Amino acid sequence: MRKTCLLVSVFFVFFLNAEDVIAANVPQKETTDSILVSIGDINLVLWGVPKENFSEYFNLTIGKDTIFLERLFHEGIENLQIQFLNGTPNGNFLKGEVIYGIRQWLIGAEGRDVLLRFSFKDSIQFFETDGKYSIFSAMRDYEQVDSILEHNHFQEIKEESYIVQKNFYQYYLESKAWEECCPEYIEQAKRFLSQKESDFKTLTDLALWVDYKTVILALGENKYFVFDNVGNFGEDAVREFWSTEK
């Protein structure tokens, strides 16, 4: 489960106008074991994405300067590799950025985790292996990111998580929505509300885990590849419980 907008990177800033974007829910071209996409003079092969029923898993949008790949279902980029057919503009490595988010588990939220507002950016470099660039392997593993966040950002994350959970559980207890169906939810909610914010010491204590939200790659020639891992998962489930009140 280690699971539009203006994107600002430490490496670049880019803007897309609506007229620059060509929507494409299916790949430009499929070969027997890969998907071929082109932007400007750059031709890429995307390995590790399902060719069959591609549009059920991803939304592919090709703009004037950017390839957007948006996750729609469970498939991520764990197996995604990029191959340049006409050579890598930057030599044998790519630069990019990962934007990580924090997912909050909540009982009774229709089995869905939700993203907190907190995000963390990390720069990355991709080196070629057998002519391909593996995106996921270039990213830090989740244990490393957990450690960074717990050492440098834990208080900020804890405050947001505690507010969301407190407001969420208070709402459902006061509404009595769980009284007939879910006594175990009531007990868990009461257990959480009996604790103070200072009682939580780790991301695990707060039922949180790290997930990547967006991966941005500089392809060269002012062209970019952006993968959106958030897709349609999300925030609306608990948006009303975001508040500054404790």
206, pLDDT greater than 90:
yes
41 exposure class (CB count in 10 Å sphere: 0-12, 13-18, 19+): exposed
Structure-token pair, residue 88: 């890598």
Q: Which of 19-23, 28-32, 215-219 has the lowest mean pLDDT?
A: 19-23
Q: Report the alpha-carbon angle 4-7-12, nearest 5.
A: 145
pLDDT value of residue 108: 63
pLDDT in tens, 128-159: 778 788 877 788 888 899 999 999 999 999 99
Nearest to 145 by CA among 87, 189, 210: 210
Here the tokens at position 157 are 């994350």
Residue spans per domain, the chain = 18-241
Total-model pTM: 0.75
Q: How confident is the model at residue 59 (pLDDT cuts 50, 70, 90)?
A: confident
Beta bridge partners of 124: 96
Question: pLDDT band for position 72 (50/70/90)?
Answer: confident
Q: What is the pLDDT of residue 202?
A: 95
Please choose, from the candidates 160, 172, 149, 151, the residue with its C-alpha nearest in 3D space to the C-alpha of residue 114.
Answer: 160
Q: Which of 138, 139, 125, 121 is nearest to 9 (CA)?
A: 121
Higher pLDDT, 10 or 132: 132
